[in-house]
């Protein structure tokens, strides 16, 4: 990246280090914000914002609001995608990060239901929708910054850096919750799986308020970016579309559908391993719907150990996808997810060692399936609609997978009388749908991001260059 593109000798370029940091730090902050909400949705929000005589009803209500943000994500993908495809990646990424940061900070100062009644719950829903709206524009922009600035033959590797934001955000967010739990421990004799009164009163707010510091760092890095040469060339050639959404729906509908279902297994696995598992792991063994009975601190530490494998195999997946192709790697990984969903109960039945193995395997597969998406989804679409197309596929999949996964998982957990075997079957079925989508798709490793028109998924070879978005 030290030499400017041909024909643009005076055009500034982004150093590789700035590209990687900018794509990583933004998604780390975005996922951090989502994780701290997910943790609070399990630990404290049921009693603070959804009081009910039935704990499971309160938990499901809290999960419903968690899932509501996923509905806002496609809206964010359309709005930010429109801006990103018309105005450029840099300004759009700054706007999405700022929106997410403000919403997260405001959650940290909200009144509770006991203080403001339904108004408190409504405000929480509003902030959660704002989080989802912002994240709808964040991921695709970060992926484009990474892949559109990548050297030849390393696009999937560069595409893994925004994906690393997921495990990094998890570790930082849950690490901060663990720190607050250690500083504000439950009283002697109290249930160690339940937070202390001080934590419920104010300790949970600290991670949300701390997000302001992380956002400030992220904004500083992103303001230093210059626009990608790929987008600049498209803009200078008149390839910017007036209505990117209409163009991508009319001309690239097949890619939208396939991209959505290719992401499905990833999303379901992601939220089962991060959100459902926390509820299942902490639920007492003698509860009406029994769980594993671990204390909060113990189980989160086990999860963080598993997430280390998530991070490692996200990075490993990039060189593998560059060498063997995105489709081939994802076919093998998705087949492994099908098998993994069917062995949940045998694994968990092995005791603590089995639970750790379950977490490690789940997060390892998560890294292998999530990593290549940073390159694959942008490669499905031409430059003029790439932000919109990849963002819609990524975020519509969040509705089909992530929005309903925690809710369905809790219902299946109850239907299994405390056994998660039905939850595992649900994961396997969703992975089978992804397998079908992958079999109907084509390899995108050799598609040039400078091609004005990406080949339709399923075509034998990339289409010849034409006007962007045509």
Can you give the pLDDT at residue 54?
Answer: 67
Can you give the pLDDT at residue 69?
Answer: 78
Which H, E and C letters describe 41-99, residue by residue?
A: HHHCHHHHHCCCCCHHHHHHHHHHHHHHHHHHHHHHHHHHHHHHHHHCHHHHHHHHHHH
Taking the complete model, does pTM exceed 0.75, yes or no?
A: yes
- Reported for 279-284, long-range contacts at CB under 8 A and 24+ positions apart, including other chains, are 279/42, 279/59, 279/406, 279/410, 280/413, 280/420, 281/355, 282/42, 282/193, 283/418, 284/191, 284/193
Nearest to 144 by CA among 436, 432, 420, 374: 374
- The C-alpha atoms of residue 125 and residue 45 are separated, in whole angstroms, by 12
Contact by Cβ (8 Å): 137, 237:
no
Rg over CA atoms, the chain = 22
CB neighbours of 95 closer than 8 A, spacing ≥ 6?
80, 83, 137
- The C-alpha atoms of residue 108 and residue 131 are separated, in whole angstroms, by 13
CB neighbours of 435 closer than 8 A, spacing ≥ 6?
265, 331, 334, 335, 338
Can you give the pLDDT at residue 454?
Answer: 41
- The C-alpha atoms of residue 353 and residue 287 are separated, in whole angstroms, by 23
- Reported for 175-178, long-range contacts at CB under 8 A and 24+ positions apart, including other chains, are 175/304, 176/36, 176/206, 176/207, 176/210, 177/36, 177/39, 177/43, 177/204, 177/207, 177/300, 178/297, 178/300, 178/301
Can you give the pLDDT at residue 467?
Answer: 33
The separation between CA 246 and the C-alpha centre of its own chain, rounded to angstroms, equals 25
Can you give the pLDDT at residue 73?
Answer: 86
Which parts of the chain register pLDDT below 50? 1-11, 452-470
Contact by Cβ (8 Å): 323, 409:
no
Can you give the pLDDT at residue 189?
Answer: 53
Can you give the pLDDT at residue 310?
Answer: 97
- What's phi and psi for 349, nearest 5 deg? -70, -10
Can you give the pLDDT at residue 148?
Answer: 87
Question: What sections of 349-442 are H helices per DSSP?
Answer: 352-370, 373-379, 386-398, 405-415, 421-440
**Per-residue pLDDT tens over the stretch 39-59:** 888 788 888 888 765 676 777
Q: DSSP per residue over 446-460, as a string?
A: T--TT-SSPPPTT-S
**Per-residue pLDDT tens over the stretch 8-49:** 444 456 778 888 888 888 889 878 887 888 788 878 888 888
């Amino acid at each position: 990246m030290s030499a400017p593109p041909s024909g643009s000798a005076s055009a500034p370029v982004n150093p590789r280090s700035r590209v990687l940091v900018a794509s990583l730090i933004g998604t780390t902050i975005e996922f951090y914000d989502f994780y701290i909400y997910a943790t609070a949705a399990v630990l404290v929000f049921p009693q603070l914002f959804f009081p009910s005589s039935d704990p499971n009803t309160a938990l499901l209500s809290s999960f419903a609001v968690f899932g509501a943000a996923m509905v806002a994500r496609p809206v964010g993908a359309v709005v930010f995608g429109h801006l990103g495809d018309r105005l450029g990646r840099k300004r759009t990424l700054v706007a999405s990060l700022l929106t997410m940061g403000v919403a997260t900070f405001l959650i940290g100062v909200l009144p509770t239901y006991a203080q403001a009644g339904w108004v408190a719950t409504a405000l929480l829903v509003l902030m959660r929708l704002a989080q989802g709206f912002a994240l709808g524009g964040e991921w695709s922009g970060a992926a484009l910054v990474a892949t559109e600035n990548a050297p030849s033959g390393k696009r999937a590797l560069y595409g893994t850096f925004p994906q690393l934001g997921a495990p990094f955000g998890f570790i930082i967010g849950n690490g901060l919750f663990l720190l607050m739990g250690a500083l504000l421990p439950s009283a002697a004799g109290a249930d160690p799986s339940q937070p202390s009164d001080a934590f419920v009163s104010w300790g949970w707010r600290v991670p949300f308020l701390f997000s302001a510091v992380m956002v400030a760092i992220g904004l500083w890095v992103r303001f230093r970016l210059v626009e990608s040469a790929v987008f600049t060339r498209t803009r200078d050639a008149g390839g910017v579309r007036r209505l990117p959404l209409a163009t991508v729906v009319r001309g690239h509908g097949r890619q939208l559908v396939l991209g959505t279902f290719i992401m499905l297994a990833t999303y379901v696995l992601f939220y089962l391993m991060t959100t459902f598992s926390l509820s299942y792991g902490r639920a007492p063994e003698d509860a009406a719907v029994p769980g594993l009975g671990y204390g909060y601190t113990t189980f989160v530490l086990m999860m963080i150990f598993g997430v280390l494998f998530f991070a490692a195999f996200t990075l490993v997946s990039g060189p593998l996808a560059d060498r063997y192709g995105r489709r081939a790697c994802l076919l093998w990984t998705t087949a492994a997810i099908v098998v993994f969903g069917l062995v949940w109960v045998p694994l968990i039945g092995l005791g603590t060692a089995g639970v750790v193995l379950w977490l490690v395997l789940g997060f390892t597969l998560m890294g292998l399936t999530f990593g290549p998406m940073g390159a694959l989804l942008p490669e499905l679409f031409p430059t003029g609609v790439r932000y919109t197309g990849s963002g819609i596929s990524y975020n519509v999949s969040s509705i089909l997978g992530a929005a309903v996964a925690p809710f369905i998982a809790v219902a299946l957990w109850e239907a299994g009388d405390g056994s998660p075997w039905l939850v595992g079957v649900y994961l396997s079925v969703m992975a089978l749908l992804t397998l079908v989508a992958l079999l109907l798709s084509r390899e995108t490793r050799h598609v040039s991001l400078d091609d004005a028109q990406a080949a339709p998924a399923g075509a034998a070879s990339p289409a010849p260059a034409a006007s962007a978005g045509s």
